[in-house]
């Protein structure tokens, strides 16, 4: 089995839609760290699971310096962001989203 990990740093804003009072319902920003984990039993014809540049394009280019509410089709929590990223990358089985120091959400595809 082959594995790869790619970490992307983005700056982005969001506001959360919550059913309780929170300062996070106002537009605010983070410097996010998104770590993508991919695996494959076989490599593609180029000898890769997925090109690192493709991960950057599909995640970083789509999210960096954007309002995440305008990009994601759901409430842009760290948890939903992790799932959205995972579903975009071939062979991805896990994504960790660090919203701020000490606050990390993960999405893991269960086998």
- Domain membership of residue 40 as a residue range: 2-108
Here the CATH number for the domain that contains residue 89 is 3.30.479.10
Tens digit of each residue's pLDDT, the chain (111 residues): 999 999 999 999 999 999 999 999 999 999 999 999 999 999 999 999 999 999 999 999 999 999 999 999 999 999 999 999 999 999 999 999 999 899 999 999 997
Total number of domains constituting the chain:
1
User: How many CB atoms neighbour CB 61 within 10 A?
Assistant: 13
Q: What is the pLDDT of residue 111?
A: 75
Q: Quote the pTM value.
A: 0.94
């Amino acid at each position: 089995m082959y594995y790869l990990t790619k970490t992307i740093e983005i700056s982005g804003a969001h506001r959360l839609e919550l059913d309780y009072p929170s300062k996070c319902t106002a537009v605010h920003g983070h410097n996010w760290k998104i770590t993508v984990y991919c695996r494959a039993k076989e490599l593609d014809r180029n000898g890769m699971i997925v090109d690192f540049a493709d991960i950057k394009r599909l995640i970083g280019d789509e999210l960096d310096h954007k309002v995440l509410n305008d990009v994601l089709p759901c409430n842009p929590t760290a948890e939903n962001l992790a799932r959205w990223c995972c579903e975009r990358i071939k062979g991805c089985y896990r994504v960790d989203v660090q919203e701020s120091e000490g606050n990390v959400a993960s999405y893991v595809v269960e086998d």
